[in-house]
Amino acid sequence: MESGDSKKLKIVERYSFDDINHLHKFTEYLSGAKFMVRKHTDYVDDDGDIVDEADAVESYTSVSVLYTDGDSGAMEFSFSEIYEDKGYQIEMVGCQWCDITPEYMLAINEVFLHPDLYQHGEVEVFESPCTTVSWDSDELNERLINAKKDRENRFTLQH
């Protein structure tokens, strides 16, 4: 079985994150539920071996989805090895559980049904983050700014 850290490093590479901290920012710190699409094309020769595009006789494009509940839970959806394109394999990414709604599952299913509508690295956000404007921003969310002001005002009034 693969360790959590080695799985996270593979996810960093597969989904083109800058580094593991970039992945953590995507999945943790109340960053909101969202998913990211991975599209990858393998080029094969007559023997079925993976080769450069120039030497290929066929190509196969695969799609997978990295979903996060935005509270450290993350899982990767890909086509099933057993059911192929009729089912999915779901693998936890460095966690023991991850929460998801049926609505979000249906949205992820759409990626697999219509992969041509999605680009590699595309992110679909389901919920706004609690702490920042977005997962790839350091700008504070208005909700957090207002909460800090309320705390400061209460502290001032108490003293």
pLDDT of the residue at 114: 94
pLDDT in tens, the chain (159 residues): 456 678 899 999 999 999 998 998 889 877 889 999 999 888 888 888 888 888 888 888 889 999 999 888 999 999 988 988 889 999 999 899 999 999 999 999 999 999 999 999 999 999 877 666 666 766 766 665 666 676 677 767 766
pLDDT of the residue at 109: 96
pLDDT of the residue at 147: 62
Angle, vertex CA 116, rays to CA 88 and CA 84, nearest 5 = 25
* CA–CA distance, 127 with 71 (Å, rounded to integer): 12
Residue 146 CA: distances (Å) to CA of 70, 130, 140, 150, 153: 21, 12, 10, 6, 10
pLDDT of the residue at 1: 46
| Tokens of residue 5, six digits | 């850290």
- The predicted model scores a pTM of 0.76
pLDDT of the residue at 141: 62
* CA–CA distance, 98 with 32 (Å, rounded to integer): 12
Helix (H) or strand (E) holding 67: strand 58-68
* CA–CA distance, 152 with 143 (Å, rounded to integer): 14
What are the extents of the domains in the chain?
A: 4-127, 131-159
pLDDT of the residue at 130: 67
Nearest Cα residue to 16 out of 147, 123, 89, 111: 123
pLDDT of the residue at 140: 66
pLDDT of the residue at 136: 72
pLDDT of the residue at 4: 63
pLDDT of the residue at 76: 97
Strand order in the sheet with 34-44: 84-92, 74-80, 58-68, 34-44, 123-125
Residue 31 CA: distances (Å) to CA of 8, 57, 117, 118, 132: 17, 43, 25, 22, 7
Phi, psi angle pair for 41, to nearest 5°? -115, 125
